[in-house]
Amino acid sequence: MTINSTEALLVLLAFVFLAWGNAQNTLVPAIITFGDSAVDIGNNDYLPTLFKANYPPYGRDFSNHQPTGRFCNGKLATDITAETLGFKSFAPAYLSPQASGKNLLIGGNFASAASGNDEKAAILNHAIPLSQQLKYYKEYQGKLAKNALYILSAGSSDFVQNYYVNPLINKVFTPDHYSAYLVGAFSSFVKVCCYCYSTNYCLSGARKIGVTSLPPLGCLPAARTLFGFHEKGCASRINNDTQGFNKKIKSAAANLQKQLPGLKIVVFDTFKPLYDLVQSPSKFGCCGTGIVETTSLLCNPKSLGTCSNATQYVFWDSVHPSQAANQVLADALILQGIALIT
């Protein structure tokens, strides 16, 4: 998410049905975002972590041509989704000075790059774990209505930045076992959002949730370089693991909906839209060498080979999609999410 986050991603986005004045011309009045680098718009700027995007060339194609904390050359898929829903400005990063007063009436962003379902990995990366993102959300919750629509995407960072690169984990757990662990964390997260621990019914909180699948992680430039083993095209082993995780998420979502009357879950497919893009003639890998740039150590103003026109590329750096790819993903999310907002 990334994509996910595209890994992402971990991503939770809430479209909240309120009636606040500055959002009356939008399809929904507020957007609340949780997740990883796929949707972090600057919270990590205020944390002691290497995972930041507050320096060039990030933000080069954003409206002010300045880095904003987004891991992209321009807009994220969630930014484009907000514009599609009628928003003229974006909800602020919750840790930023802008997250106060009327700015919060259109929502809040709690996402943190390098976060994910695996709490230990997020803490190790000095990111905001999902549990803490939920605590921040509860601070904000007094301004939210009960009839909210949530979209959740998680797991990309867990695999790309944790499982595959950490022998202490991948030598002990198979991809299948690690997927099961992450899905268990996902189920717990949904229950907290839905307030279903004390009852078996969604009395408040999240009642309508759209869960995004993992994108084709084996097609990320970093994954192809590190794990492709000179394989032509995407790393098939990684994509197989990704699809295994996606099957578990679909099964868990179906079970949660059966177990918790009042809860509606739709699983959004982000694997196919991005995979189709990668299989097109478009090049991918943009900022610097396209190998493993995700932090200031490897992706910075002096990186070599930054593409002059990011609209021709699927990926902006080694794991994050370009604004052009985010547009395709946003279109897919909107189309698949109609059932949840009608």
What are the catalytic residues? 37, 317, 320
Residue type (1 letter), 191: K
Q: Kindly state the DSSP code that residue 58 receives in the 8-state scheme.
A: T
Contacting residues for 106 by C-beta, under 8 A, at least 6 apart: 20, 22, 23, 26, 29, 30, 31, 87, 89, 90, 91
How many CB atoms lie under 10 A from the CB of residue 255? 12
Judge if the upstream peptide bond of residue 57 is cis by omega within 30 degrees of 0: yes
Our separate counts of H helices and E strands in the chain read 10, 8
Q: Which helix (H) or strand (E) holds 181?
A: helix 175-194
Instruction: Write out the DSSP string of 113-167.
Output: TT--S-HHHHHHTT---HHHHHHHHHHHGGG--SSEEEEEE--HHHIIIIITT-H
